[in-house]
Amino acid sequence: MFGDKERAKKEILEHWKAANDNSDEKLINYELMATRTHDYPYSMPGLIACEAAAIMGGEETHWDYFDRIQKAHLTECLDITTEEVQIMCAKDIGLDENAFRKLLNDEKTKQLVEQNLELARDWGITGVPSLVIDEKYLISGALKKESLKKQLLKIANEEML
């Protein structure tokens, strides 16, 4: 998509810098990210890990895990594609390491992720973040609050007609 790994890293780092600049919390450590030598992570390992957490504890556990792995990625700048980091995150939120490891490597967990990706494609989602409202409206991209508010108001007005 980006041509090569170096161009990908540069573009992604610029995206994370902009996202951090627009955030009140400033949790993205893009300067530390720039020093890391591991390949920039791709989505599937993290998606499988989040699904494994969801299987173990439901939606709340999914989001607890998501928050922890995002911190590992964006703040600690760890390679979240590695099983070692994924398991560390699972243990940090109180999940059983052996059960989590088994689910990480279970083909059924990957199949659940693939089903979710198919649903996302059906809804027209091509990137993150994306917000689907009433299975009818799609808002894509990391938008500033004012832009998001305008789009939500537009949808609300359309629904009132």
pLDDT digits (tens, 9 = 90+) for 47-87: 999 999 999 999 999 999 999 999 999 999 999 999 999 99
Regarding predicted confidence, which is higher, 136 or 41? Answer: 136
Residue 1 reports pLDDT greater than 70: no
- For residue 148 the two structure tokens come to 């998001």
- For residue 66 the two structure tokens come to 């998501």
Q: Alpha-carbon torsion 8, 11, 15, 16, what sign?
A: positive
**Dist. CA 29–CA 27, nearest whole Å:** 6
Mean pLDDT of 139-155: 87
| CB 95, CB 56: distance < 8 Å | yes
Residue 44 reports pLDDT greater than 80: yes
The alpha helices in the chain, defined as continuous H runs, are: 5-21, 30-35, 43-74, 83-92, 97-104, 107-122, 145-160
Give percent of the chain with pLDDT exceeding 90.
55
Topology of 5-123 in CATH?
Cyclin A; domain 1 (1.10.472)
Give pLDDT, residue 30.
84
pLDDT, tens digit, 9 for 90 and up, residues 110-136: 999 999 999 999 988 987 788 889 888
Band (41; pLDDT cuts 50, 70, 90): low
Domain ranges of the chain: 5-123, 124-161
Torsion, CA 53, CA 57, CA 61, CA 65, rounded to 10: -20
Give pLDDT, residue 39.
78
Enter the pTM of the model. 0.80
| CB 97, CB 49: distance < 8 Å | no
| DSSP secondary structure letter of residue 114 | H
